[in-house]
Amino acid sequence: MWPGPRGPSAPHLAGPAQQPQALLAGFPGQWAGQWGVPAPAPGPAAYPSPALYNNAGWDQQALAAQFQTLQLQQPAQQNWYFDTGATNHVASDAGILSPTTSSVHSPSSIVVGNGNLVPVTSTGTAHLSDNLHLNNVLVAPNLIKNLISVRQFTIDNNCTVEFDPFGCSVKDLPTRSEIVRCDSSGPLYPLHLPASALLASSPSSLWHQRLGHPGSEALSKLAISSVIKCNATTNDGLCHACQLGRHIRLPFRASSSRATHNFQLIHCDLWTSPVVSVSGHKYYLVILDDCSHYLWTFPLRLKSDTFSTLSNFFAYVRTQFGATIQGV
């Protein structure tokens, strides 16, 4: 929303309000002018420029021109860049590290190239792939680049890093075999990992959730056929979501009510056997008396025989015990 028009007199500013600073680099006390925006002039520069308004009101064109020279703060990046002058790995976002701990045993700040101090909030570990990781990564939110200390990187992974005009190569130190090749066309050396390396770091439990909770046999077939990259033999235990998804109803609530005499209340359950008996019975009707806990079991060949079996049991109770079943 543009500022409204003002009177013919020059606007009066109450108090020496400071001009907003655009800190793009993120270093404390460092002006954005070092990154393409000119730094403000010293002295009474806290007041707006007279070119922004005149006797007729605000000059919208001049104000728009001023806004065009501003830049927004860059968002947190997840890319990593090699730095031969860094003594520690540094990240700007703690969300890309695991686990993240407090900076009790880590330095409270780091010194950047211009001598300024950048505060460190926490430390963590970055798992780049199955065979590449970063230990003791310092989290400095004021930075805009995630830096890899080449010295610490070679120690953590027992590897070498070779730089050339077209990029860099990470090689295993004992075998000299190439782990990853990172091509670069810009002024920096980024660490680019192939998609297969990122997929390989995913455990089987994560693939189980990604693919809609399939069974271990289905995951093993996908891993053997190289569709996914995970350890097919890893047993991560039972999945709580799978157990809840296979329940056909909620559990019964605990009840303290008991029948006071026989056949006041009976409980029925129809069970299906996975194996047919020698006599051809596949279903079993179980009837339990709530008072005496006496149990009757009736084998059935067909599930449709349940109603006739219950009717015969009701008649059996009336003739043999002289009682009537009051509730089921």
pLDDT tens figures, 12-65 = 444 444 433 323 333 333 333 333 334 444 444 444 555 555 555 566 677 666
By C-alpha distance, which of 162, 167, 100, 164 is closest to 127?
A: 100
In a domain, 134, yes or no: yes
Question: Model-level pTM greater than 0.95?
Answer: no
* Per-residue confidence band for 158, with pLDDT thresholds at 50, 70 and 90: very high
For residue 230, the enclosing domain spans 204-236
DSSP calls for 64-124 = HHHHHT--PPPPP---EEEETT-SS-EES-GGGSSS-EESSSS-SEEE-TTS-EEE--EEE
In a domain, 277, yes or no: yes
Are 100 and 119 part of one and the same domain? yes
pLDDT at 8 over 60: no
Are 184 and 140 part of one and the same domain? yes
In a domain, 98, yes or no: yes
Contact 328, 289 (CB under 8 A): no
Are 193 and 216 part of one and the same domain? no
Are 103 and 166 part of one and the same domain? yes
Contact 52, 161 (CB under 8 A): no
Give per-residue pLDDT as tens, 272-321.
Answer: 988 999 999 999 999 999 989 999 999 999 999 999 999 999 999 999 99
The encoded tokens of residue 127 equal 């798992």
User: What was the pLDDT predicted at 28?
Assistant: 39
Are 161 and 229 part of one and the same domain? no
Are 192 and 222 part of one and the same domain? no
Q: Using the CB atoms, write b or e for 183-200: b if 16+ within 10 Å.
A: ebeeeebbbebeeebeeb
Dist CA 207 CA 306 (whole Å): 44
Are 288 and 304 part of one and the same domain? yes
| CATH number, position 271 | 3.30.420.10
Dist CA 91 CA 126 (whole Å): 10
Contact 191, 82 (CB under 8 A): yes
Are 94 and 178 part of one and the same domain? yes
By C-alpha distance, which of 267, 205, 210 is closest to 232?
A: 205
Domain count within the chain: 3
Are 129 and 178 part of one and the same domain? yes
In a domain, 46, yes or no: no
Q: Calculate the CA 292 to chain-centre distance.
A: 55
